[in-house]
Homo-oligomer: A and B are copies of this chain.
Amino acid sequence: MSRWQPNARERLAEAALELYGERGFEQTTVAGIAGRAGLTERTFFRHYTDKREVLFAGARDLEELFVRAVAGAPASAAPIDALAAGLEAVAEAFAGRRAFARRRQAVIAANAELQERELVKLASLAAALAGALRGRGVGEPAASLTAEAGVAVFKIGFERWIGADEERDMAPLLRESLAELRAVAAGG
């Protein structure tokens, strides 16, 4: 096996999801994942710290991207508009990844520990977004409330996006969720 493995990271993620689906997360080993991908354990550990990280590395990327887009929105943008800019960036990053997201969700839904991990990641996202908003000069509690609202909009929009019969892209679904939250808050 050559040292250079094209797409090793993606192949490992694909192999991991296959095995989590077939055997369950608990029963899958790093050796099994590497074997299924035709790679070594050593290669696995160059890309992921453990088998759980295969599922959550994307959440870290998502947080960075979301925060960067909120921080980078025009200085004149209201907090909710900075949030909307973040949601647009997030939707773009998920393009073409719905099948993967659906399978990942099925694995997480079957494991309480993974569900807790997902909640921790969402709480971390909310804290990071609140920090980005404070960095834009938004005071508290507005920054934290906007951040929590943003995570709620993302969470609900994401759940719809991976729904069994859903074919629309994530961007219109996130826009719709944000519009719905605004309508609800207005007393609609």
Instruction: List chain A positions with a Cβ less than 8 A from chain B.
Output: 78-81, 115-116, 119-120, 123, 141-142, 144-146, 148-149, 151-153, 155-157, 159-160, 176-177, 180-188
Contact = CB atoms under 8 A, between A and B. Distances in A.
A80 B187 contact: yes
10 contacts: A80-B185, A119-B120, A119-B123, A141-B160, A141-B176, A145-B152, A145-B181, A146-B184, A148-B149, A149-B152
Given A153-B145, A156-B145, A185 B187 contact: no
Task: Tell me whether chain A's interface is mostly helix, strand or loop, or mixed.
Answer: helix
A177 B40 CA distance: 52
Given A119-B116, A120-B119, A123-B119, A145 B79 contact: no
Contact of A152 (B78, B116, B148): B148
Nearest to A183: B142
A185 B151 CA distance: 14
